Structure 1
Amino acid sequence: MNGAKYSQWRAMMAITKGSLRATFRSPSSVVFSLAFPLVFILVFGFIGNSTVSVKVGVDRHTDINTEYFKMLSANKTLKLITDESEAEMAENLKKGNLVAIMNIDYQPSADSASSYKIHVKTSTATDVNKRGILMAALKGVTGQLDNQAYPRPSVATIVPEVVPGRIYKTIDFILPGQLGFALMSGAVFTTAFLFFGLRQTLVLKRFFATPISRMNIVLAESFSRTIFQLISSVVIIGLGHFAFGFTLVNGFVTFLEMLALSAFGLIVFLGFGFIVSGIAKNESTIPLFANIITMPQFLLAGTFFPIDSFPGWLQPICRLMPLTYLADALREVAYEGKHLWNVGLDLGVLAIWGIVVYVVAVKVFRWE
């Protein structure tokens, strides 16, 4: 070294740089950390921007020139099907592809009050919620025509008042859950495969021949994982905000706080990766152990649905999972406008998980 003092810092940064470059070149890292969650965000983002479509078949005997049919057609929720045969409509009704088959029997009258008889045929395959939407639309049109034909005073006057507020969109719930899962899956899978591979290829053994400390080796690899995952977090949050209107209540401040939460959650999840790399006997068992950790949380930690929608006996299990608290903290910061000091319970539970996980990781981690 020509008398120069060995720099642990420079050695650690060199490993960090090399590991980060290798991570970007790894297809599995990109898929689990970025591509996989982005697909779900795109899907749910488009779903959240769409309206419910209620498909209703219109019997060929219906007079589509009546005022009732025209008012019903103006309802954007209803999709009235008029170009199918009677047999096709009947088959689609049995399959549940149509909510109902409707026949509007128009009976003109000499006075202004014409009479309509609405026949609505449904099946047991019909979506109950969509059936309710159809019936509400029919009652709404009927009420409007009643008011036109039989104007009368009302016993009550409704005084509406609208206060400003924010619409809670689908993407506001889905994105934090997917971001949390991206952090978890990326940390667990990439860390497990990385350290197992470094042991198998004797790279760690070569590191030991250098003056760099073991702690700095771990820190270097952890830094590279953190940088990569935070870059993916920026992409996920940015796409959700600019493409689908994901709510960032306090703008850039909220964005920075979400990145801070992501970094904290990632540190906890890296411990799971160290555990998997330590207990895996061969490379083929890594996905098994990693999925045992990640899949239950992917399904039960409120990633797609609120925990309250699960059965009562399952909810306590859901609330034990670290991903639950990271996703909740991200949602509270992004939509409710809370700050990091307002989500102390979530951070506290994550910290407890981190302590437990790293205690286990130290016990099972193997260098050789």
Structure 2
Amino acid sequence: MTTTTAKAAGTAAVPSAYATLTRATFLASVRDRTTVFFTFAFPLVFLVVFGLLFRGQSVDGGLPYINYVAPGVLSWGVGNAALFGPAFALMHWRRDDILRLIWRTPTPLPTVLGSRFVVAVVVGLSQAVLFTAVALLPFFGLHLDGSWPLALPLLVFGVAAFLAMGLVVGSLADTPEAVAAIANCVMVPMAFLSGSFYPADLLPGWIRTASWVLPLRYLDDGLTDVLAGRASFGSLALDCGGLAAFTVVFGLIAARIFRWSNRT
């Protein structure tokens, strides 16, 4: 085999490995019915509960409360799924020495992580469709205008940011209990400080200012503007840029503390 032929074969193998890993990751996620159920049902419970409690109420100059709680719960649900999945996977791969096996194969680690990202985006978009469909029911009364497609880049950037955060958590934790503890300590306070369950305008001024150091605030703020029909190119670029910056920061941290095995 000539050098050119070998290079071509290697190049062709990468997309094949990527597609195979993506399919395997997706099938593994779907087979775990308990995780699938709670990935979608748990955040949806918050949407229904808050939608019922504040049904018919308005805030911020007449904007229905559902226009705040729907994007807030969606942001939190997407962030949870994008963080927990990679965190648990990375912890298990390292504990079971799967990462060491990957290290010895021609498949690069970024290809493996890229397959996780694709699956996380699919899950996030599926959550968005489900939550929006429920919020659009006449009983809850969410109204959308033609700007709703702007939510798509926000969701992709949001998934990337929280997946990178999940890689940090998965690199730090050595047990499932540790992953759950760290992730919950991060996500639960972030939900309240970012205004996921109630309008951020109701928070004290200093908390509103401090919340801009949290990635969930950017995702929540962007989706709220989009679903309320008040998103602009400038605000959307700011929110996407903030999420991209968090992706880079958490990605660098994850790369710095990454371990191939618990024995190293």
TM-score interval w.r.t. the shorter chain? 0.7 to 0.9
Q: How does 1:58-137 map to 2 (within 5 A)?
A: none
Report % sequence identity. Answer: 28
Change (3 A) 1:197 1:261: same
Q: Where does residue 113 of structure 2 map in the other structure?
A: 218
Q: How does 1:174-189 map to 2 (within 5 A)?
A: 174-189=69-84
Q: Where does residue 27 of structure 2 map in the other structure?
A: 21
Q: Where does residue 257 of structure 1 map in the other structure?
A: 150
The Cα of 1:167 is off from its aligned counterpart by: 5.2
Structure 1 contact 185–294 (Cα < 8 Å) conserved: yes
Q: Where does residue 3 of structure 2 map in the other structure?
A: none
Give the total of aligned pairs. Answer: 249
Q: Give the distance between the partners of 1:309 and 1:334, measured in 2 at CA.
A: 19
Q: Where does residue 219 of structure 2 map in the other structure?
A: 326
Structure 2 contact 55–66 (Cα < 8 Å) conserved: no
Q: Give the distance between the partners of 2:242 and 2:26, measured in 1 at CA.
A: 29
Q: Where does residue 36 of structure 1 map in the other structure?
A: 42
Structure 2 contact 222–235 (Cα < 8 Å) conserved: no
- The structure 2 residue matched to 1:12, chosen from 18, 32, 47, is 18
Tell me the TM-score normalized by structure 2: 0.85
Which structure shows the higher helix fraction? 2
Structure 2 contact 21–112 (Cα < 8 Å) conserved: yes
Change (3 A) 1:344 1:196: same
Asked whether 1:234 is paired with 2:129, we answer: yes
Q: How does 1:160-171 map to 2 (within 5 A)?
A: 168-171=63-66
| Cα deviation digits, residues 133-159 of structure 1 (max 9, x gap) | xxxxxxxxxxxxxxxxxxxxxxxxxxx
**Aligned partner of residue 185 in structure 2, secondary structure:** helix
Q: Give the distance between the partners of 1:39 and 1:11, measured in 2 at CA.
A: 38
Alignment gaps of 5+ in structure 2: 1-5
Q: How does 1:168-317 map to 2 (within 5 A)?
A: 168-243=63-138, 244-250=140-146, 253-254=147-148, 256-317=149-210
**Aligned partner of residue 136 in structure 2, secondary structure:** helix
Change (3 A) 1:218 1:286: same
| Cα deviation digits, residues 172-202 of structure 1 (max 9, x gap) | 1101111110111111111110111122223
Q: Give the distance between the partners of 2:63 and 2:122, measured in 1 at CA.
A: 31
Which structure shows the higher strand fraction? 1
Change (3 A) 1:240 1:15: same
The Cα of 1:45 is off from its aligned counterpart by: 2.4
The Cα of 1:356 is off from its aligned counterpart by: 1.4
Asked whether 1:362 is paired with 2:258, we answer: no
Structure 2 contact 83–162 (Cα < 8 Å) conserved: yes
| Cα deviation digits, residues 326-352 of structure 1 (max 9, x gap) | 111111111134255542222222222
**Aligned partner of residue 255 in structure 2, secondary structure:** helix
Higher relative contact order (CA 8 A, sep 6+): 2
